[in-house]
Structure 1
Amino acid sequence: MSSSFSREERRILVSVSGAHFVSHLHILALPPLFPLLRDTMGVSFLELGFALTLLNLVTFFTQAPMGLLVDRVGARRTLVAGLLLGGAAFVMAGLGGTYSWLLAGAALAGLANSVYHPADYAILGSAIDDEHVGRAFSLHTFAGYAGGAAAPFVMLGVASVAGVAAALILVGLVGTLAAIPLLREALDERPAARRPKGAAKDGPRLLNAAVLSLLVFFAFIAFGNTAIQGFAVSSWEAAHGLSLTAGNVALTAWLALSAIGVLAGGHVADRTKRHGLVAAVGLGAAALLILVAGLGDLAPVALTVVMGTSGFLSGLIMPSRDMMVRAAAPPGQAGATFGLVSTGFSVGGIVGPLGFGWLLDNGEPHGVFMIAAALMGAAVLMSLAQEMRRGRRMALAPAE
């Protein structure tokens, strides 16, 4: 079979990746506006930070149930609902213009955000041929990176011309526009058939060792990413006196090369079945480079090279990571599986900043990198465990 995407696969990939672009655009829409929102709403940065915390908390508590809903009512229906709800959340916040409306919008945006991972991966996993589903996952992830990168330019650009309210309304309307290509299929989608009362239920099989270990695996990766994205620059300054400019250049290299690594990782994922081994090798090497970058007193150029290489390896493993989840999902429960394991991201995003902030406040900047690398190392061990499970399944397959 051809390794290129069919016309129908390209259409699906573009529409679902567009939704992922919107999801990251919405997640990062508020931070660029914080200085302007502080002045227009008369609130503190702490209060504005609470809006982000609220968004993440709502996502954390609703993502796993949303995965079950995806499998029950249909991934396309749920994705369209999420896009429309997310769009309405920002339009509401822009029209309301007060801090209370901002919090209400953040809560609704958090609920909408819980839709994307389970719905997107359920659609791609079922609609894209196995021969190139790894590349589909990589392009989908890259679209999310692009949405996050576009957020500061879009929000500040519109706000500088038309004001904060217009920026919020516009970013909300983008969500509505992204839902349009999915509407027809969503309306035609049939809900999953209900099981007969006497049939065995598939639900408990979701909570198997492979899926639960992947949840922890995702959390460990999220802890590492939180340390790098949120605290690396401050840690370099505190530990080595590195300038903020040099630190941000190194961080930018990590982020940019991560996005490129994701695209390369899609090709790797399509050329091997040993996704756990790919994840272990790439993540292990990335963790070692993080230790070098954090504990070694490197010159700015050397630091940028080390961080760029680490970022590339971190991105390279992402499609294989997603393929591991796809392989672990029980039949008919792809949405629930991706919804459950993706809560690991929320755990890392909620707990990580508190722990790493505490380390910096207590004069332990090296600890930020050491703990991040240690947790990434633990994720390596879990990847190898997943690979061993795959090997055992393969060995038993002929006897079944």
Structure 2
Amino acid sequence: MATGTGSRLRALADYDVLALTALIWFLAKFLRYAFPPLFPTFRETFGVSNAALGLAFTAMMTVYAAMQFPSGALADRVGARQVIVAGAGVAGAGALVLAVPVPDEVALAVIGGGMLLVGLGTGAHKTVAVRLLSRLYPARTGRALGILDTFGAFGGVAAPAAVVAVTGAALAVPGVGVDWHTLFLVGAVAAGGLAALFLRRVPPADDATGGDGDGSGGGRGDDADGLRRYAALFREPAFAAFVVVTVCFSFAYNGAVAFLPLYLTDAAGLPETTASLLYSGLFVVSLVQLVTGDLSDRVGRLPVIAATLALAAAALALLLVVSGVLAVGVAVVAFGLGSHGFRPVRGAYLSAVIPESSAGGGLGVVRTLLMGAGALAPAAVGAVADATGFAAAFGLLAAAMAAAVAGTGVVAVVDR
């Protein structure tokens, strides 16, 4: 009886880890995806260009990308709990910086500094979270990562809706004291609370990604040997080809989500409120991740990867040629289904092919590359949009997504 009770308590503790990990990821996505819906406000208030906005978003995402490898390698050494808690604390500090109104003369510098802190803190989470959950749920990795990514995607749902709510309140009731700074104040408080709960509720046995409970996982040893071990992963043709696939996807996806609200208003001619609602719709459909994650556990990962990427590529191409709220909405929803459907399966595939001894750092290397490509995308889209218009910029993103589809075929061939 005692053994059965202990097993049930252990299972509940594991669900605590999943729930808290997913909630922190929700907050991370909320903080990051609050910025694109605020770009029109920043552009009007501070008189900045699309290129400048894209550069700011790129700077945040570059810091985010740069954290992927060190956070994973550090988790191999000291454990997942410490890294995740530290990341949430730094992200909360960035949100707190953004929550404080400052004079217009220094506002852009403060916003940029807050964005960098948000990128730094949120960048410590996903790599470590994927590895932690894939170890806790080895037979249900796809499902667990589907839940994680669905929570994160709903951060993208909540962010534009919250922006609409606070900006609408500020316009409707001048002097009410609620504006975009309020979003980040709430985010700062939530980050502190979640970090404290994670530190308290995650059992010590789950603290190290290596699973031994003392933090002495595969990340220990000579640093040069560790780097060679991570680099050796790229000598595997299927692994290297899949990295190319996910880099192309990341460039296309991050470029699209950074500028979709402006694309919908400037190129598609939709009102700002409609554009924000459609932007939320992009993330609402993230529930598909629960389906694709579970499906990949049943039928295999590569077929699901190929289908979801093909849908995302077709949706981006459709977005370039259709007009009207209904047709544009269909394209946005299809892009969301394909993109979000791909993400948990990507994590499950990488977790399966990376050796346990290199798990955190190996996944960190891949996520550094893919998020680095994603970080470049907003700057590229902003520059092309200023030079030739949003149609050409989103055409570039559609080509990158098509390249990801083609690369999946290469992975399928070399992975046999």
1:198 shift after superposition: 9.4
1:382 shift after superposition: 2.7
Equivalent positions of 1:125-274 (< 5 A) are 125-130=134-139, 132-154=140-162, 160=170, 162-163=177-178, 167-184=183-200, 185=202, 189=207, 190-193=214-217, 201-207=225-231, 208-209=233-234, 210-231=238-259, 242-245=268-271, 248=275, 251-252=278-279, 255-256=282-283, 258-273=285-300
- 1:54-111 alpha-carbon deviations (Å, 9 max, x no partner): 3223223332222211211111110011111211232244458454554443332222
CA 1:309–1:156: 2 relative to 1, 3 Å:
closer
CA 1:156–1:328: 2 relative to 1, 3 Å:
same
1:353 shift after superposition: 2.9
CA 1:272–1:354: 2 relative to 1, 3 Å:
same
CA 1:302–1:215: 2 relative to 1, 3 Å:
same
- 1:310-353 alpha-carbon deviations (Å, 9 max, x no partner): 43233222221111111222223322233222234433443223
Matched, 1:378 2:406: no
1:276 shift after superposition: 2.1
C-alpha separation in 2, matches of 1:141 and 1:27: 15
1:388 shift after superposition: 3.7
Structure 1 partner of 2:3: none
C-alpha separation in 1, matches of 2:123 and 2:178: 29
| Counterpart amino acid of residue 17 in structure 1 | A
Partner of residue 412 from structure 2, selected from 373, 387, 396: 387
**What runs of 5+ residues in structure 2 fail to find an aligned partner?**
1-9, 171-175, 208-213
Equivalent positions of 1:1-400 (< 5 A) are 6-30=11-35, 44-45=47-48, 51-94=56-99, 97=102, 99=107, 100-130=109-139, 132-154=140-162, 160=170, 162-163=177-178, 167-184=183-200, 185=202, 189=207, 190-193=214-217, 201-207=225-231, 208-209=233-234, 210-231=238-259, 242-245=268-271, 248=275, 251-252=278-279, 255-256=282-283, 258-273=285-300, 275-295=301-321, 297=322, 300-363=325-388, 366-391=391-416
Instruction: Give the structure-2-normalised TM-score.
Output: 0.76
C-alpha separation in 2, matches of 1:150 and 1:366: 27
1:355 shift after superposition: 3.2
CA 1:167–1:379: 2 relative to 1, 3 Å:
closer
Relative contact order (C-alpha < 8 Å, sep 6+): which is higher?
2
C-alpha separation in 1, matches of 2:298 and 2:229: 29
Are the aligned partners of 1:215 and 1:343 in contact in 2 as well (CA < 8 Å)? no
Q: Secondary structure at 1:333's aligned position in 2?
A: helix
Higher mean C-alpha displacement, 74-83 vs 333-342: 333-342
Q: Secondary structure at 1:317's aligned position in 2?
A: helix
Q: Secondary structure at 1:22's aligned position in 2?
A: helix
C-alpha separation in 1, matches of 2:294 and 2:243: 24
Identity among equivalent positions (%) equals 24
C-alpha separation in 2, matches of 1:304 and 1:253: 11
Instruction: Give the structure-1-normalised TM-score.
Output: 0.79
C-alpha separation in 2, matches of 1:148 and 1:158: 16
| Counterpart amino acid of residue 309 in structure 1 | A
1:20 shift after superposition: 0.3
CA 1:219–1:179: 2 relative to 1, 3 Å:
same
1:48 shift after superposition: 7.1
CA 1:375–1:385: 2 relative to 1, 3 Å:
same
1:245 shift after superposition: 4.0
Task: Give me the CA root mean square deviation.
Answer: 3.7
Higher mean C-alpha displacement, 66-75 vs 337-346: 337-346
**What runs of 5+ residues in structure 1 fail to find an aligned partner?**
392-400
- 1:262-310 alpha-carbon deviations (Å, 9 max, x no partner): 222122122123x123212321233134323323x45543443344234
1:166 shift after superposition: 5.0
1:221 shift after superposition: 1.0
| Counterpart amino acid of residue 204 in structure 1 | R
| Counterpart amino acid of residue 148 in structure 1 | G
- 1:156-186 alpha-carbon deviations (Å, 9 max, x no partner): 7578554555543331111011112321337
C-alpha separation in 2, matches of 1:109 and 1:221: 23
Are the aligned partners of 2:265 and 2:271 in contact in 1 as well (CA < 8 Å)? no
Are the aligned partners of 1:206 and 1:330 in contact in 2 as well (CA < 8 Å)? no
**Aligned residue pairs, count:** 380
Are the aligned partners of 2:282 and 2:336 in contact in 1 as well (CA < 8 Å)? yes
C-alpha separation in 1, matches of 2:328 and 2:184: 37
CA 1:120–1:162: 2 relative to 1, 3 Å:
farther
1:35 shift after superposition: 7.6
Are the aligned partners of 2:72 and 2:363 in contact in 1 as well (CA < 8 Å)? yes
Are the aligned partners of 2:160 and 2:279 in contact in 1 as well (CA < 8 Å)? no
| Counterpart amino acid of residue 205 in structure 1 | R
CA 1:158–1:244: 2 relative to 1, 3 Å:
closer
Are the aligned partners of 1:22 and 1:178 in contact in 2 as well (CA < 8 Å)? no
